[in-house]
Amino acid sequence: MKINIYYGGRGLLDDPTLYVINKMQEVLQELRVQVERYDIHEHKNSISTLPQTFKEADGIILATTVEWLGIGGYMQQFLDACWLYGDKEKIKNLYMQPVVMSTTYGEREAEVTLANAWDILGGLPCDGLCAYVDDLVSFEMNGTYSTLIEKKAEGLYRTISQKMKGFPTSNQAVTESVLRTRQLELTPQETEQLSKYVADDTYVKKQKEDIEELASMFKDMLGQGDEEETKDYLVEFRSHFVKPQDDFNAIYQFRIQDKKQPLVIKIQGGELTCDYMGTEEPDGENVDVYAKLTPEVMEKIIAGRMTFQGAFMTGEMTAKGNFKTLRMLDQIFIF
């Protein structure tokens, strides 16, 4: 018989869970059980591969310490890895005994959490052990507590050796009908290989670099689309331009919502220059009129259903600058 112990605490010297699992390990070894222990905090960079250690085990002990709230991060990551990368067929026949020591409130809730998690994974939970420890020295010196720990270890041994079965639970029913892992249909061997890839920092880093490269490529592709967008309204303005007097010179800048660059219209010597430019003032010159509007308002103006002056008067277009020059827009662009 082989039993694995997975310790999810931080490995502190005064952690009562360490005393309990050391005691249980001694008892199991006296019963000629092969015991292998995994301190999860020492495998924090390869937690996703730990479920593969279930292969030769007949049962496991999940041991953790409640220091302030719940089962702790390392144990939670380990259970996540069991759900994502564990061999469910192996887990189905694997007994699990939860061991939870607490230095604050919540040891019973943590024990139930571990039992429920293993139940949902499809495994076989056993009677667990939980306790509140205020003074570790007093706890270790108490002969009654030591006997209880030994009995729990012996109980796990008997449960596994006799292959005891339990009653069906609602967790199992919910798992079968509702909680389904949304992942590719992988064989246990493929799942094991995937867990190794996830734990490989070099592989993960390479994947991130590939994703960034793809993202950059798509941005470039989208950038081509942005170039096409910067041609919006240019044809309409150029085709509806009515040449003013030669002494009329003006620069208009339109800030159109959702457009990255402003539309700049420059009239000098009766000639029109119309294009999307950067955020800087065109050619270093002062802009006579700044206007801000939405694409819908611009569409109405170009379609002839609204004038620039009307949009300004109704508040659908805001503007600042020379208002005499603003009024000239409806004279030099007849839509």
pLDDT by residue, tens only, the chain of 335 residues = 999 999 999 999 999 999 999 999 999 999 999 999 999 999 988 999 999 999 999 999 999 999 999 999 999 999 999 999 999 899 999 999 999 999 999 999 999 999 999 999 999 999 999 999 999 999 999 999 999 999 999 999 999 999 998 888 887 776 666 655 555 566 767 666 666 666 666 766 777 778 877 877 776 666 555 555 557 788 899 999 998 887 889 999 999 988 888 999 999 888 899 988 765 555 445 899 999 999 999 999 999 999 999 999 999 999 998 888 999 999 999 98
Q: Specify the CATH number of the domain 2-199.
A: 3.40.50.360
Q: What sign for the dihedral angle of Cα 185, 189, 193, 195?
A: positive
Instruction: List the one residue out of 129, 126, 125, 127 whose CA is nearest residue 117.
Output: 125
Give the per-residue pLDDT at 284. Answer: 44
Give the per-residue pLDDT at 171. Answer: 73
The SS3 of residue 125 is strand
Parse the chain into domains and list their residue ranges: 2-199, 200-229, 234-332
DSSP letter for each residue of 239-290: HTB----TT--EEEEEEETT-SS-EEEEEETTEEEEEE--SSPGGGPPPSEE
Helix (H) or strand (E) holding 34: strand 34-39
Give the per-residue pLDDT at 183. Answer: 52
Q: Specify the CATH number of the domain 234-332.
A: 3.30.1050.10
pTM over 0.75? The answer is no
